[in-house]
Amino acid sequence: MDSVAPFPHRQYAHCESGVVAALLTHYGLAISEPMVFGISGGLTFAYIPFIKITNLPIISYRMFPHAIIQGIQKRLGIRFRTHTYRDPARAHGELVTLLSEGRVVGLQTSVYWLPYFPDEMRFQFNAHNLIVYGMEDGQFLVSDPIADHLVRIAPADLENARFAKGTLAPRGFLYYPERVPSSIAMEEPIRKAIRKTAQMMLYAPVPLIGVKGIRTLAGRIERLRRHPDQRYVRNFLGHIVRMQEEIGTGGGGFRVMYAAFLQEAGETLGLPVLKEASLRMTEAGDLWRTFALACARACKRKGEPVDFTAIANLARQCADFEQQVFRMLRRIE
């Protein structure tokens, strides 16, 4: 295993959709990241006030980790081999064996333990995905979908990252697709995925998910006006944006990626309505950026008065845009 063919590295916007797109492409099915994201139904909005991380509610702009891996298997009928491990030594051994067989695999890791990440980004976040494609000089060769170049990692560091404890602990999670066809009829999976996402965004049974969730969050922002603790208010506003940015996605990044998916889907299906929905989703993405900017400004200015209603109204506008998009998409043929 001394000379490993260089992996055709590509930089993606999001780790899980990036790894799945890169793996499928590597195993013979050329597919874009937005297509993976859209078909697996990766988009959502969730505001969950009763589950807290560092005392702040969960605000998510995408589905939970592993949803993309699961979704793509379901929609495209491609099976992934997945493993979790209790024993790090066994996890290491099996990884080395797979690599020696020429396999390229995806791994779930904790960014806290990845030495090549900028220090400022090494938080306790256990659901980062990356690709290992070989070994050289005792180090693993890594294609990290959000990095702009290939990297290497020492086995001890990788072991720490794969066996970090805590929320969403990876437990050595390893995956790769089995028997990938070189072409798949995408039309039906696209339709089903779009209808499913539209259904969830419009008609979730609780007002914490989808466009209703966005409006609930807007109401929560408006009520911050009466909150006595300025430090908490700034933390909350910063938190909303940090969750939106996440690691590897730009402002409203998931909205924009969904717009890219709708554009590509429109060409595949030849449906003009998808093109229109894509334009509208792009506007929603831009508006999410304006919203993020407003939150960041309020978060930066200590002591100055903040117009919470204006910020809340931006979020409400985002909800309106997304509602229009998904009403268009609800009944596509």
Partner 1 sequence: MRIDETPQDHIRTLGGETKALYVLDDDGRYTTARTTGWEVEEIVLNQVIEDFQAKAEEARRRVRAGETSPIEYYMYKNWMDPLTLAQAMGLFRWQVRRHFRPAVFARLSEARLRAYARLFHIDVQMLKTLKEDP
For residues 21 and 49, the answer to whether their CB atoms sit within 8 Å is no
Token couple for 172: 């050595």
Question: In this complex, which beta carbon is closest to partner 1, that of residue 162 or of residue 242?
Answer: 242
Question: In this complex, which beta carbon is closest to partner 1, that of residue 148 or of residue 178?
Answer: 148
CA separation for the pair 192, 297 (Å, rounded):
40
Question: In this complex, which beta carbon is closest to partner 1, that of residue 116 or of residue 203?
Answer: 116
Q: Does 48 contact partner 1 by CB under 8 A?
A: no
Q: Which residues within the stretch 147-186 sit at the binding site for partner 1 (CB under 8 A)?
A: 147-148, 164-167
Q: Does 80 contact partner 1 by CB under 8 A?
A: no
Q: Does 123 contact partner 1 by CB under 8 A?
A: yes
Nearest Cα to Cα of residue 129 among 42, 258, 1: 42
DSSP SS3 for 43: strand
The single-letter code of the amino acid at 171 is R
Least distance between partner 1 and beta carbon 123 (Å): 6
- The conformational region for residue 252 under phi > 0 = left, psi -120 to 50 = alpha, else beta, is left
Q: Does 57 contact partner 1 by CB under 8 A?
A: no
Which residues make Cβ contacts (< 8 Å) with residue 254, sequence separation at least 6? 14, 37, 42, 43, 61, 62
CA pseudo-torsion sign 193, 194, 195, 199:
positive
List 3, 5, 118, 178, residue binding partner 1 (CB under 8 A) = 118
Please state, in angstroms and as integers, the Cα–Cα distance from residue 252 to each residue in 41, 47, 69, 168, 291, following that order: 16, 15, 22, 23, 9
Q: Does 272 contact partner 1 by CB under 8 A?
A: no
Q: Does 256 contact partner 1 by CB under 8 A?
A: yes
Q: Does 277 contact partner 1 by CB under 8 A?
A: no
Question: In this complex, which beta carbon is closest to partner 1, that of residue 115 or of residue 207?
Answer: 115
DSSP SS3 for 164: coil
Residues that bind partner 1 (CB under 8 A): 11-13, 34, 53-55, 112, 118-124, 146-148, 164-167, 231, 234-235, 238-239, 241-242, 245, 248, 250-251, 253, 256-257, 259-260, 263-264, 282, 285-286, 289, 292-293, 295-297, 299-300
